[in-house]
Amino acid sequence: MPTVPRVPRAIALLLLAVVAALSCARRAGGPAPSNDLLIVGYDREPDTLNRFSTHILEDIQTNVIEGLTTTDEHMNIIPLLATEVPTLENGGVRMRPDGGMDVTWKIRPGVSWHDGTPFTSADVKFTVEAINDPNYNPESTDGFDRIESVDTPDPLTAVVHYREVYAPYALQFFRGTFPKHVLEGRDIDTANDYNRSPLGTGPYRVAEWKSGEYIRLERADNYWRGPEFPHIKQLLFRFISNTNTRINQLKSGEVHLVAMFPWDKHREVEAVAGVQVHRTPGNAYEHVTLNQRAVPAFRDVRVRHALMHAIDRELIVKTILDGLAPVTNGPIQPVSWAFTNDTVKYAFDPARAKALLAEAGWADGKLSFTLITQAGFAVRETVAQVLQRQFRDVGVDMKIELHDGTTISSVWFEGKFHAMLHWWQMPADPELTLFFAADRMPPRGRNINYVEDGPLTDLVYAADRTVDRTERTRLLVLAQQRIAELLPELPLYGITKLDAIPAGLRGFKGNPTNVGVFWNVHEWEIP
């Protein structure tokens, strides 16, 4: 048997000292990440924890409230509280002779709300009726307003009757459901006991919300997956709106995880001891929304084309974004099965921009508007300044107005802005109706460009009304081409998701879609 050489005592002590120093450097600002506590640096405070009311990505809520389905790291729609995803093949989806569609959801047995009340089909039925109730003001009614009724033949079966074919049905309940026994007969908009501390079936429950500072989640008792889940006892979400502050607290160990940190910070974060950078090609895109209702000039396609020609997107990507966020030309990204690159493109061409503005009657600096974006998001603020300069070069006066991440959500929902620099985190199903159909302006959807185009509306609805993948792809390609021609918004770049996680964290998989990185949080473990 070979002899293992001994390490001299002095060298061994030196190595131990180095390891200890590195460990202390990471943990000086707070406790180390462990199965007892994981601290998340979060970029904004939620407006509400009600998943159907919020205008903000639902990372925190995902840990508490589970859907019938979710989306995995490969953008596959998989069952969660349902035993399977209904399809034509397994008999869960049935086309009716009258043009409608029935979807049968089989609910997983043995699931209870956090208060011990069984989760049943009655909660599914109540949720549909609550969202369609005109007395409630959800973030969107899309999909739900196509449901005519829900039958509950038994506690573990919900049959959803659509008045028309609705292809994205598999994600209808990915946000979860309302607990009927808590909210029945109440005004959900003002039910603050639920909206600030919602009852769920997920691996965590809300333990504390200290306004302006943090939300603390603790492991739920009797979670349906088994007593060993989740592995981490507490999640603490600290609200840190400033990018630099979040990264500095990551360095000091005051926070352990920062999801979707900006691209200009990736080299800095990669150098932090004890931190690993996880990269995921995102199903999301950064763009400038042009509010046609607030700014009449935006209704002229020549103006929209001129603004697009004025932007040097390649420069933005190569300099500010360090090549990590590729130029994009529309809302559907290459990670989606419906993506097409066969659309009209707009090259950086200031001369063409000036000519189009003059043709539209906006020469000599007459066009002026204000762009809003998120304060404390350093990359976004820098991109806004570049846009301001490039628009000025073609004679357009664009002012910049910054809002904190919570406030800006209500501003866009109410349409109280001219233009907005932001991203949409898109679902696994490439439904475009929510964003571009003429009848999907808030509160029915997210058409905050306020674009009204009959052919585009017809295309996106037609795509919704077929479950045949080949035909649906054809229609979505046509819709993407129409969007590129109309240019209701200015697409800038696709999103590469960069997540900073503890190097010892096991089970983290990331996610390209709007379900966020916490979709499988029950699997996370820090040995």
Confidence check: pLDDT of 456 > 60: yes
Q: Return the exposure string of 313-341: e unless at least 16 CB atoms fall within 10 Å of the residue's CB, then b.
A: beebbeebbeebbbbbbbbbbebbebbbe
Best CA proximity match to 47, nearest among 133, 117, 137, 166: 137
Nearest to 292 by CA among 447, 518, 457: 447
Q: What is the pLDDT of residue 26?
A: 44
**pLDDT-based confidence at residue 363 (cuts at 50, 70, 90):** confident
Burial-class residue 285 by CB neighbours within 10 Å (0-12, 13-18, 19+): buried
Here the tokens at position 381 are 């603020």
The pLDDT value recorded for residue 437 is 98
pLDDT at 351: 98
Q: What percent of the chain has pLDDT over 90?
A: 90
pLDDT value, residue 34:
97
Q: Is the pLDDT of residue 417 over 50?
A: yes
For 484-526, how does the pLDDT look when each residue is reduced to its tens digit (9 = 90+)? 999 999 999 999 999 999 999 999 999 999 999 999 999 999 9
3-class secondary-structure state, position 370: strand
**Mean pLDDT calculated for residue range 425-435:** 96
* CA dist list (Å): 410 to 76, 140, 189, 192: 31, 13, 14, 17
pLDDT at residue 83, rounded to an integer: 98
Residue partners of 182: CB distance under 8 A and separation at least 6: 194, 199
The full length of the chain comes to: 527
pLDDT at 28: 58
In this prediction, residues 392-396 reach a mean pLDDT of: 97
Point out the least confidently predicted range of 149-163, 173-187, 365-379.
365-379
Which pLDDT does position 1 carry in this prediction?
A: 37
Q: What is the dihedral of CA 257, 258, 260, 265, to 10 degrees?
A: -120
CA atoms of 336 and 334, how far apart (whole Å): 5
Pairing mode, strands 234-239 and 38-42: parallel
**Residue 406: pLDDT band with limits 50, 70, 90:** confident
The mean of the pLDDT values for the chain is 93
Q: Where is pLDDT greater, at 416 or 56? A: 416
Alpha-carbon gap, residue 516 to 70, rounded angstroms? 10
Q: What ranges make up the beta strands (E) of 356-432?
A: 368-374, 397-403, 419-425
Using CA atoms, how far apart are residues 307 and 303, in angstroms rounded to an integer? 6
Question: How far, in Å, CA of 3 to CA of 217, rounded?
Answer: 51
Rounded (5°) CA angle 298-299-300: 90
- Least confident range from 4-13, 269-278, 383-392: namely 4-13
Q: Token pair for residue 264?
A: 């200009």
Of the ranges 18-22, 69-73, 96-100, 349-353, which one carries the lowest mean pLDDT score?
Answer: 18-22
Count CB neighbours of 32 within 10 A: 16
207 CB-near residues (< 8 Å, 6+ apart): 216, 217, 218, 234
Q: What is the pLDDT of residue 138?
A: 95
Residue 350: phi and psi, rounded to 5, are -60, -35
Neighbouring CB atoms inside 10 A of 39's CB total 24
Cα angle: 103, vertex 105, 107; to 5 degrees: 175
Q: Name the band, by pLDDT with cuts 50, 70 and 90, for residue 365.
A: confident
Q: Assess whether pLDDT exceeds 90 at residue 15.
A: no
Based on C-alpha coordinates, what's the Rg of the chain? 25
- Asked whether residue 25 carries a pLDDT value surpassing 70, the answer given is no
For tokens 């603490």, the residue is: 236
pTM exceeds 0.75, yes or no: yes
- C-beta separation of 218 from 21 below 8 A: no
Query: Encoding tokens for residue 252?
Result: 């000091």
